[in-house]
Amino acid sequence: MSQKASSLRKWIKTILFAAVLAFIIRFFLLAPIVVDGPSMLPTLKNGDYLIVNRLSYIVGEPERFDIVVFRATKETDYIKRIIGLPGEHIEYKDGNLYVNGNIVKEPYVEQSRISEQQYFYFTRDFSLPDLPGNYREIPEDYVLVLGDNRPNSTDSRILGLIPLDQLVGEAHFIYWPFKRIGTVN
């Protein structure tokens, strides 16, 4: 075999290996997503490009306040924040989050409130039984998700609880626009 043919074969193997590796990373480990709409303001903005870690919930469990991408319909993925975990009772009263009767602070929501007048109306009062499904506590293998921009978000208040098997992954990194590059908080 000539040196030229041997060199060509090495290049083809290298390119094929790189393509297979890229395919595995893209479809099994990381996925790009573009934020569409204002439901996660001010944390995420319309048009932000994110990297989603698909392994997050294969090797770990969801945690409160994770920002997740999930399958809302066969054609559409949504991005929201996990508020309630399996076994918990969630309630909003007077603009405050209660988990199993204990108040839990939401610093990212504090940034979203425009004025003190909006304080009580930013997240309208509700209790877990008020949501679709009429649950007393979040069942195993489900989470409750809300957008950070509560007055303008289609989330568990409308969709109901989200099955864990519909979670695509956890949003970790904004890679575009350039001025917003960084980790997702």
- CATH no. for residue 81? 2.10.109.10
- Cβ atoms < 10 Å from Cβ of 75: 6
Which residue type, as a one-letter code, is found at position 44?
A: L
Is residue 161 within 8 Å of 142, Cβ to Cβ? yes
Domain contains 46: yes
Q: Is 39 a catalytic residue?
A: yes
Q: Is 80 a catalytic residue?
A: yes
From the list 2, 13, 39, 112, the catalytic residue is 39
**Number of folded domains in the chain?**
1
The parent domain of residue 108 ranges over 33-183
From the list 13, 45, 56, 80, the catalytic residue is 80
Domain contains 21: no
Domain contains 123: yes
Locate 149 and state its tokens.
């921009």
pLDDT band at 74 (very low <50, low <70, confident <90, very high): confident
Residue 126 has pLDDT above 90, yes or no: yes
Average confidence score pLDDT of the chain: 87
The pLDDT, as a whole number, for residue 29 is: 66
The pLDDT, as a whole number, for residue 114 is: 52
Domain contains 7: no
pTM: 0.83
Residue 148 has pLDDT above 60, yes or no: yes
The pLDDT, as a whole number, for residue 94 is: 84
Q: Give buried/exposed letters for 44-58 (b at 16+ CB in 10 A, else e).
A: beeebebbbbbebbe
Question: Which carries the bigger pLDDT value, residue 21 or residue 19?
Answer: 19
Domain contains 24: no
Domain contains 124: yes
Domain contains 139: yes
Mean pLDDT of 56-66: 91
Is residue 107 within 8 Å of 93, Cβ to Cβ? no
Domain contains 86: yes
The pLDDT, as a whole number, for residue 30 is: 74
